[in-house]
Structure 1
Amino acid sequence: MKRHRKVKILATLGPASSDEAMIKKLHEAGADLFRINMSHSSHELMRTLVGRIRAVEASCGRPIGILADLQGPKLRVGKFADGAVTLEAGQTFTLDNRDEPGDAKRVFLPHPEILEAVQPGHRLLIDDGRLQLLAVESDKTSITCKVVSGTKISDRKGVSLPDTTLGVGALTEKDRADLDAVLAVDDVDWVALSFIQRPEDLAEVRKIARGRVGLMSKIEKPQALERIDEIIELSDALMVARGDLGVEMPIESVPGIQKQLTRACRRAGKPVVVATQMLESMISAPVPTRAEVSDVATAVFEGADAVMLSAESAAGDYPVEAVTTMAAIARKVERDPNYPSIIYSQRPQPDATGADAISLAARQIAETLHLSAIVCYTSSGSTGLRAARERPQVPIIALSPVIQTARRLSVVWGLHCVVTDDASDLDDMVNRACRIAFAEEFGKPGDRLIISAGVPLGTPGSTNMLRIAYIGSDGMTGI
């Protein structure tokens, strides 16, 4: 199944898209990998969805990635005696540790870590910022606040803390249980970590996972931006989670942050996903707004590895149409005359390593000679990532003997992943590359490819060779 675009599509599964037939339709429409939201999925449902995705993978013959998105710490106020209260700007309102129903003066806050960390002058945003409070006094057991804006607060509304760094990690007890369940399935490729604040938040998950899944850090808190280079270095991928990020930061800052993170990840050679409300109106409408089309197009122009659908594919009325629309936007952008110059202006300098020099040379040769494709043999996935970081004009075929590697690379820009045995010798390396390129419709007899591999063959991390080859007249052998 050849995609005629470079950017990947990540689709969230949910009530509208949980059966195998719908998952197959979404994949055929353009979804390259699927997200299971552990905030709304039991362990049993997660296992069921993984099984259905793998059944679709087997029937379609293409590696499909699976992302399990951990809920992270959900901070909420307690309940009110009457379910909700009305407040006035300028009045005093207190959050405290008294486990009693709230009223117009106070409410229970069942999070001692917040009571201990908030300082006078810190903002507290309730219900996605609809109510804004400013801390005036804090004594570790209560926070006395001034109501800045908003008039209503009701039971169990969420609390965001844009100015406060909490002294707890990103993993809750629910997250640990969910992570154990995900790892036990041994068929999930990525785990997304919510509300990352600092690089240390990744340490516990890294220790538990032991390389069995890739770690994708969701950037949705201002504190993460203060140490973003360290977080990128310790992550396997990033997600720009614009929903919560837009609550905790001025909403007008989000587009610039999105560009900053997209470019930083490309420099580092790490995949980046742009997420949240990309085609929000398609939850209930068969076509998106013009602004949403521009939003998706901006992410593609910036060189994001993947764009994500949330409720549009999980709970909307038009999940297949949403994927189809997103794929169509991506294809149109990538054919725009301005696209190459925008993408190439952001090209990072290669690292001073043999593998990076080989990837740079492969791209330059392929574009200079107008070759049909770049074929890279990659066992661990690092060679595929390096090839994608170059953002070549020609397609990249990533050949891997490891199915887990091929699935994990499904989120990476431009990679068409194929699972195949390691080459036995140099002739087999060339013939196998040409045969697969022909079979996958990336070349025809007489077309030329450039092949990158490592000698000795089958040695991970040894990419050190380039070979230009013709696809033979039979489409099966290289010359």
Structure 2
Amino acid sequence: MRRHRRAKIVATVGPASAAPDKLRALFLAGVDTFRLNFSHGLQEDHARVHAAIRALEQEVGRPIGILQDLQGPKIRIGTVKDGRLDLTAGETVRFVLDGSEGDKQAIPLCHPEIFAAAAPGQDLLIDDGRIRVRVVGLDADTLTAEVITGGPVSNRKGVNLPGTLLDLSPLTPKDRADLAFGLELGVDWVALSFVQKPSDVVEARALIGNRAGILSKIEKPQALERIGDIIRLSDAVMVARGDLGVEIPHEDVPGRQKELIRACRLAAKPVVVATQMLDSMVAAPAPTRAEASDVATAIYDGADAVMLSAESATGQYPVEAVTMMDRIIRSVEGHKLYRSIIATSDPGEEETPPHAVASATATLAEAVQASAIVTYTTSGTTTARVARKRPAVPILALTPHLATARRLCLMWGAHSVHTDDVDSYEEMTTKAADCAVQEEFARSSDLIVTTAGIPFQMAGNTNNIRVIQIQ
């Protein structure tokens, strides 16, 4: 069940993919981590999907990651008269803090933080930026605006206030209930939506602890201003280009994507690129050339994973979308320029002994033409440090913790295996050789390079390298 590629695939589960047979087909097509989007569906629906994935994991004998994506504090208008308003450029509209079944002079916007943060001259973006209005006046519970870009507005459409830090917790009451439910189920990752500042991650960490990895979704410009601290406090990052592309100019998104991938690679934290990667495959059996190129660009940039949203959740061709993404990744990673491009994007060395040992492991493995790098890891940190170098040699990650094996399903290049714990160095090297053969990474007389932290069970203490010849 070995993937012949390094970058991972995340697929969102929805009505098109929630059945056990569909989940199995998606896994066999290439999914490494399944995303449960708690913006949609009931808790019991997600529980059934979670159980089906865990049953599939038992069937195939491979760790499978599960990512819980919390809805976050999404700002939306309320309901409007007849379910739709047609706004015309140049006309004046009013938003009210309290109201229902609003018209153009009383559009419900039940978010006091918007009224507290808005100022004359600022723009509000509605429905992912399709509608733009400019604030011309406001008081405590009324906001008057001129329509700049008109169009139809229907119930519950999202509202963005670009460039403004809103006084919002990243976790709404719904999120807190969903989070408790997800942690009880045993999800591997929790994605935080609309992270604005480092304290948002700290707030989530107080609730999550070490029960799941925290993945911060970067979709607000305010997060970019403190991105170093946010990455440091998070376990992984998502380049959520949908909402981010609403609040910053479209032409700035590709550059920001490259910056985020590079920063996460430097920090040895997984980074996921998401939103509309193969969007036309929601309704068509093949992507556009531009979409194929978009996925390829993320892989050339060194992203750990790429994600499907509506393509696998509600689309007509979920398995075909995963298959196509797998084909694109393998094609890029097999291209003659891939290794040189990846090498030039190396973020440089971090001046710590564990990172130096991991870097030396990757260099040594390539120099001796090893069949595999075997990392023995408790928390996944040793594997992350090796993966940071994006070595040409495959990475076999052995861990005694099933939770770690599942989280590594988001890490570039890591083929994770849940093994028994070891008590001695010699036992570790024997297990490394045996697993390399069993997982079809090496054969008799091949060389493998192992790295680990000695003593064992001390997370993050990468300090040992050994070259082993398979007997």
Which TM class, normalised by the smaller chain length? over 0.9
1:31 is matched by which residue type in structure 2? V
Question: Paired residue for 2:78?
Answer: 78
Name which of structure 1's ranges 113-122 and 296-305 shifts more when overlaid on structure 2: 113-122
User: Against the structure 1 CA distance between its residues 135 and 425, is the aligned structure 2 distance closer, same or farther, given a 3 Å change threshold?
Assistant: same
State whether residues 83 and 155 of structure 2, in contact with CA within 8 Å, keep that contact through their aligned partners in structure 1: yes
Question: Paired residue for 1:328?
Answer: 327
Question: Paired residue for 1:308?
Answer: 307
Name which of structure 1's ranges 100-109 and 398-407 shifts more when overlaid on structure 2: 100-109
Structure 2 segments unaligned to the other structure (5+ residues) = none
* Cα shift at 1:17: 0.9
2:203 is matched by which residue type in structure 1? E
Question: Paired residue for 1:236?
Answer: 235
What's the secondary structure of 1:10's corresponding residue?
Answer: strand
Question: Paired residue for 2:179?
Answer: 179
Question: Paired residue for 2:284?
Answer: 285
State whether residues 122 and 164 of structure 1, in contact with CA within 8 Å, keep that contact through their aligned partners in structure 2: no
Question: Paired residue for 2:403?
Answer: 404
What's the secondary structure of 1:463's corresponding residue?
Answer: coil
Question: Paired residue for 1:41?
Answer: 41
1:323-343 per-position Cα deviation (integer Å, ceiling 9, x unaligned): 111011000100111111111
1:260-292 per-position Cα deviation (integer Å, ceiling 9, x unaligned): 111111111111000011111111211111111
* Cα shift at 1:449: 0.5
Query: Taking structure 2 as the reference length, what is the TM-score of the superposition?
Result: 0.97
State whether residues 78 and 155 of structure 1, in contact with CA within 8 Å, keep that contact through their aligned partners in structure 2: yes
State whether residues 99 and 106 of structure 2, in contact with CA within 8 Å, keep that contact through their aligned partners in structure 1: no
Listed as ranges, the matches of 1:67-216 within 5 Å are: 67-185=67-185, 187-216=186-215
1:104 is matched by which residue type in structure 2? K
* Cα shift at 1:199: 1.1
Question: Paired residue for 1:477?
Answer: none
In 2, the alpha carbon distance for the partners of 1:146 and 1:405 equals: 52
1:359-394 per-position Cα deviation (integer Å, ceiling 9, x unaligned): 011011111111111101000111011011011010
What's the secondary structure of 1:438's corresponding residue?
Answer: helix
Question: Paired residue for 1:294?
Answer: 293
What's the secondary structure of 1:217's corresponding residue?
Answer: strand
2:424 is matched by which residue type in structure 1? D
In 1, the alpha carbon distance for the partners of 2:201 and 2:459 equals: 25
Question: Paired residue for 1:476?
Answer: none
State whether residues 122 and 163 of structure 1, in contact with CA within 8 Å, keep that contact through their aligned partners in structure 2: no
The answer to whether 1:220 aligns with 2:210 is: no
Listed as ranges, the matches of 1:353-432 within 5 Å are: 353-432=352-431
What's the secondary structure of 2:214's corresponding residue?
Answer: strand
Query: Taking structure 1 as the reference length, what is the TM-score of the superposition?
Result: 0.96
State whether residues 423 and 458 of structure 1, in contact with CA within 8 Å, keep that contact through their aligned partners in structure 2: no
1:133 is matched by which residue type in structure 2? V
* Cα shift at 1:156: 2.3
In 1, the alpha carbon distance for the partners of 2:376 and 2:80 equals: 60
2:446 is matched by which residue type in structure 1? D
State whether residues 266 and 350 of structure 2, in contact with CA within 8 Å, keep that contact through their aligned partners in structure 1: no
* Cα shift at 1:108: 1.9
State whether residues 116 and 141 of structure 1, in contact with CA within 8 Å, keep that contact through their aligned partners in structure 2: no
* Cα shift at 1:98: 3.8
What's the secondary structure of 1:349's corresponding residue?
Answer: coil
How large is the Cα RMSD of the aligned pairs? 1.3
In 2, the alpha carbon distance for the partners of 1:100 and 1:290 equals: 44
* Cα shift at 1:440: 0.8
Name which of structure 1's ranges 99-108 and 39-48 shifts more when overlaid on structure 2: 99-108
2:3 is matched by which residue type in structure 1? R
Question: Paired residue for 1:460?
Answer: 459
State whether residues 377 and 398 of structure 1, in contact with CA within 8 Å, keep that contact through their aligned partners in structure 2: yes
1:340 is matched by which residue type in structure 2? R
Name which of structure 1's ranges 344-353 and 231-240 shifts more when overlaid on structure 2: 344-353
Name which of structure 1's ranges 446-455 and 149-158 shifts more when overlaid on structure 2: 149-158
In 2, the alpha carbon distance for the partners of 1:88 and 1:47 equals: 44
State whether residues 237 and 269 of structure 2, in contact with CA within 8 Å, keep that contact through their aligned partners in structure 1: yes
* Cα shift at 1:58: 0.7
Name which of structure 1's ranges 94-103 and 438-447 shifts more when overlaid on structure 2: 94-103
User: Against the structure 1 CA distance between its residues 335 and 100, is the aligned structure 2 distance closer, same or farther, given a 3 Å change threshold?
Assistant: closer
State whether residues 422 and 458 of structure 1, in contact with CA within 8 Å, keep that contact through their aligned partners in structure 2: no
In 2, the alpha carbon distance for the partners of 1:443 and 1:98 equals: 66
* Cα shift at 1:100: 4.2
Question: Paired residue for 2:271?
Answer: 272
2:440 is matched by which residue type in structure 1? E
User: Against the structure 1 CA distance between its residues 427 and 81, is the aligned structure 2 distance closer, same or farther, given a 3 Å change threshold?
Assistant: closer
Name which of structure 1's ranges 83-92 and 291-300 shifts more when overlaid on structure 2: 83-92
Question: Percent sequence identity over matched residues?
Answer: 53
* Cα shift at 1:226: 1.4
In 2, the alpha carbon distance for the partners of 1:182 and 1:251 equals: 34
* Cα shift at 1:350: 2.7
State whether residues 73 and 168 of structure 2, in contact with CA within 8 Å, keep that contact through their aligned partners in structure 1: no
State whether residues 66 and 187 of structure 2, in contact with CA within 8 Å, keep that contact through their aligned partners in structure 1: yes
